[in-house]
């Protein structure tokens, strides 16, 4: 059994870069239960035997996806959203008056609640932006999460976590057991699958605001360093980065931490590249 867990941990790490702690091997049983059922397998040993037997990229990927933690909610840890509303967005809007464009990235977007929370914040508090070009990009390793985010449909329990009633009424349509995000917000968001550790990421334009929250805690130090360097590359020089409340860059040579509004965000330090030396 231990050998099977070792095999699975290694495989998950090579695919999603998530580091699974051996003390939590019991999680394999619960997280892989659905996959085992769908493949008509009765236990983990059978799954590992199949994985060892012949290369099955789809099955490997399904295991790695099933082992990701997708915990999220609307307006999770509300302080970054509050700070955006009161200080950061008014200042960014002022600076972007000439281009009338704003770009947001929910890196590791899970089922999309973070991206749609940003969309709701913009619609509710910044009506001026209705005529601007606003893009909220959501990326995640898990194809299932990207599909859920793209569908924009949520169960009552998910809606009840973090959403004020007035936002539910204004931004969602009740459809049977679920609530669907209204097209006006759906149109502001685009979701795609991307592994944060496969750099450079295929994202063309720089972002004004990056939410890279509650994902680096699953990575090794080396992967964290790589992902933060990529976030730095993809952030506008006057943009802002939010990490999860328990996350911070190990190395502050690229980042200025700014502690206001009961939360910490990061602004990028300028880098000496050939371009800005010249
Ligand atoms: C705990 S959720 C965080 C969601 C959201 N950012 C939040 O703070 O509520 C972590 C997400 O990271 C995704 N993830 C894990 N490894 C990843 C990787 N290598 N690249 C991109 N996303 C990854 C998982 O699929 C999961 O949806």
Any idea what the CATH number is for the domain that residue 94 is in? 3.40.50.150
Ligand 1 centroid from CA 120, angstroms: 21
Q: What confidence score (pLDDT) does residue 54 get?
A: 87
pLDDT digits (tens, 9 = 90+) for 54-69: 889 999 999 999 999 9
| Atom of ligand 1 at shortest range from CA of 107 | 6
Q: Are residues 59 and 88 in the same domain?
A: no
Q: Are residues 143 and 251 in the same domain?
A: yes
Over the chain, what HEC string results?
CHHHHHHHHHHHHHHHCCCCCHHHCCHHHHHCHHHHHHCCCCCHHHHHHHHHHCCCHHHHHHHHHHCCCCCCCCCCCCHHHHHHHHHHHHHHHHHCCCCCEEEEEEECCCCCHHHHHHHHHHHHHCHHHHHCEEEEEEEECCHHHHHHHHHCEEEHHHHHCCCCHHHHHHHEEEECCEEEECHHHHCCEEEEECCCCCCCCCCCCCEEEEEECCCHHHCCHHHHHHHHHHHHHHEEEEEEEEECCCCCCCCCCCEEEEEECCEEEEEECCCCCHHHHC
Mean pLDDT, residues 79-85 taken together: 98
> Which tops the pLDDT comparison, 183 or 278?
183
Q: What confidence score (pLDDT) does residue 275 get?
A: 47
Quote the mean pLDDT of the chain: 95
Cα dist from 159 to 17, 42, 84, 205, 257, whole Å: 30, 34, 22, 31, 32
Q: Are residues 110 and 178 in the same domain?
A: yes
Number of domains in the chain: 2
Q: Whose CA is nearest to atom 23 of ligand 1?
A: 141
Is the C-beta atom of 17 inside 6 A of ligand 1? yes
- Please report whether residue 31 resides in a domain: yes
Ligand 1 centroid from CA 140, angstroms: 6
Q: Among 109, 140, 158, which is best to mutate for testing ligand 1, by the most ligand atoms less than 8 A from CB? A: 140
Kindly tell me if the per-residue pLDDT of 278 is higher than 60.
no
Q: Are residues 125 and 239 in the same domain?
A: yes
Q: Are residues 84 and 62 in the same domain?
A: no
Q: What domain range is 218 assigned to?
A: 79-277
pLDDT digits (tens, 9 = 90+) for 117-147: 999 999 999 999 999 999 999 999 999 999 9
- Please report whether residue 72 resides in a domain: no
Q: Are residues 56 and 181 in the same domain?
A: no
Mean pLDDT, residues 70-81 taken together: 97
Q: Among 104, 215, 242, which is best to mutate for testing ligand 1, by the most ligand atoms less than 8 A from CB? A: 215
Is the C-beta atom of 224 inside 6 A of ligand 1? no
Is the C-beta atom of 69 inside 6 A of ligand 1? yes
- pLDDT bucket at 274, cuts 50 / 70 / 90: very low
Q: Are residues 121 and 234 in the same domain?
A: yes
Cα dist from 217 to 20, 21, 157, 168, whole Å: 11, 12, 26, 31
Rounded CA gap, 86 and 102, in Å?
Answer: 17
- The CATH number of the domain holding residue 56 is 1.10.155
Q: What confidence score (pLDDT) does residue 276 get?
A: 43
Q: Are residues 92 and 149 in the same domain?
A: yes
Mean pLDDT, residues 75-79 taken together: 97
Q: What confidence score (pLDDT) does residue 271 get?
A: 67
Is the C-beta atom of 214 inside 6 A of ligand 1? yes
pLDDT digits (tens, 9 = 90+) for 159-174: 999 899 999 999 999 9
Mean pLDDT, residues 43-55 taken together: 94
Which residues fall within 8 angstroms of residue 97, CB to CB, at 6 or more apart? none
Kindly tell me if the per-residue pLDDT of 243 is higher than 70.
yes
Ligand 1 centroid from CA 128, angstroms: 31
- pLDDT bucket at 277, cuts 50 / 70 / 90: very low
pLDDT digits (tens, 9 = 90+) for 7-35: 999 999 999 999 999 999 999 999 999 99
Q: Are residues 143 and 171 in the same domain?
A: yes
Rounded CA gap, 194 and 203, in Å?
Answer: 10
Q: Are residues 142 and 182 in the same domain?
A: yes
**Proportion of the chain above pLDDT 90, given as a percent:** 93
Ligand 1 centroid from CA 68, angstroms: 7
Is the C-beta atom of 227 inside 6 A of ligand 1? no
Is the C-beta atom of 110 inside 6 A of ligand 1? yes
| Atom of ligand 1 at shortest range from CA of 142 | 25
Kindly tell me if the per-residue pLDDT of 207 is higher than 70.
yes
The 10 Å Cβ neighbour count of residue 174 is: 12
């Amino acid at each position: 059994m231990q050998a099977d867990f070792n095999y699975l941990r290694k495989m998950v790490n090579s695919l999603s870069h998530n580091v699974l702690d051996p003390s939590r091997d019991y999680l394999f049983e619960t997280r892989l239960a659905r996959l085992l059922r769908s493949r008509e397998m009765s236990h983990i040993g059978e799954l590992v035997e199949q994985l060892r037997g012949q290369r099955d990229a789809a099955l490997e990927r399904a295991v790695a996806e099933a082992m990701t933690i997708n915990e999220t909610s609307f307006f999770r840890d509300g302080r970054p959203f509050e700070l955006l509303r009161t200080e950061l967005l008014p200042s960014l809007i002022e600076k972007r008056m000439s281009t009338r464009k704003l770009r947001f990235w929910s890196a590791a977007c899970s089922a999309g609640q973070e991206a749609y929370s940003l969309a709701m914040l913009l619609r509710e508090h910044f009506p001026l932006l209705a005529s601007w070009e606003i893009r909220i990009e959501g990326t995640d390793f898990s194809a299932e999460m990207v599909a859920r985010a793209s569908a924009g449909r949520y169960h009552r329990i998910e809606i009840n976590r973090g959403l004020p009633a007035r936002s539910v009424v204004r931004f969602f349509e009740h459809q049977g057991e679920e609530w669907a995000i209204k097209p006006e917000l759906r149109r502001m968001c685009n979701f795609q699958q991307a592994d944060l550790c496969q750099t450079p990421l295929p994202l063309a334009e720089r972002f004004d605001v990056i939410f890279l929250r509650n994902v680096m805690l699953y990575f090794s130090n080396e992967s964290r360093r790589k992902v933060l360097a990529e976030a730095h590359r993809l952030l506008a020089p006057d943009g802002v980065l939010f990490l999860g409340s328990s996350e911070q860059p190990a190395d502050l040579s690229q980042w200025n931490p700014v502690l206001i509004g009961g939360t910490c965000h990061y602004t990028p330090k300028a880098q000496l590249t050939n371009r800005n030396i010249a």
